[in-house]
Structure 1
């Protein structure tokens, strides 16, 4: 049976005849025509049967199309439509995925985010916060790390509460790439424990005070933005401010814009 005949005559058929005619279809209609049918008052099982039959006959749905069918189909059929859209390379955005929250389960949300990442969609900090609790932690971390957004300071503060600390650190390093001097300082001073003690008593490294080119001075108690870790300034070398973190085991170098005073 052709789709055109089915589409024109279906309103005259009883349910059992309708089901038989759906099974006998030889081609599928447009997405608009399929939606017209499933929104005409049929029960969910009949709607599922029609959509599944049309997919088997070559119908192609986009991610945006699927949202229009919410409430008319079972979750299993919606999942099948998602697979169909992905298979045919549908466009997708972060905002599209957020619309699926509460419609499909976490596994499907993970699938959508993974597909969006593969399609080079980029997630804002607000997008990532919005997805928290709807996707797995691993997928949320990947969405943040793979995003090509230039996260602002406020964005990083938002992300601190929802993504893994190591991922956040890599994003920060990407925003403020370390120069050779910063890298050398980190390798030389990490894990020594000594600078933390020295800073606690106001010790000045290299036998000098800072020349005043930033608002921070040796001995200042500071907080690393976005992480919330606190520590003490133990040396200032040009644009780099060396901080002994409060755990006493780590020393790291930062730019002034990465720090704030802790009172």
Structure 2
């Protein structure tokens, strides 16, 4: 099935709140909990706890306005800078950071983190640490060579990118081009963590069907090695849920570091 006629996230946008409700909420009919919440959280915690990554600056280059993947990171980085492509996601994220009325509820994600750590009584402290570390939300533009222009960010110790390459890359060349732009934001020896969907075609938000770039594990590995990265960890989880909201076969977590 050709997804070239579907809407593009970075061109047409989508309802940021509906996206969260569909794929990251704690509603009883939200069937993606294992893939979109638990799988990223487990792998991020395991990788960070190895002790190889820590530093001053973490950049988050992810789609939507979800924050559950940052709970593990806030323990290892002083500052988290979030880059977003559209204003709706920025407003949604800032609503949570500023604890405004109507902000999306992430208590279930904090609960998952706390239970994995055996500290279920520290939920508020966990959310407070993320808010404290998340000091800047910056709008970016993938069409520019320096995607944060006119702002020049300091080189990052680590970049996390969850699903953004999937939704913004129309083809393989696009994926590689976007990855190179991300890579330029890293320090020599810096780490890149990618989370995405394998063999994906589309996802639905509200009335909109949007494009997903279709790729497999071998493609990701080859691209990273070709761009000068050494892969430290690669985990794949096959899809088990049933839903017409999104077409994909599995979820991938890849952590790599940039050769100096």
Query: If the length of structure 1 is used for normalisation, what is the TM-score?
Result: 0.22
User: In terms of Rg, which structure is larger?
Assistant: 1
Query: If the length of structure 2 is used for normalisation, what is the TM-score?
Result: 0.22
The structure that is helix-richer by fraction is 1
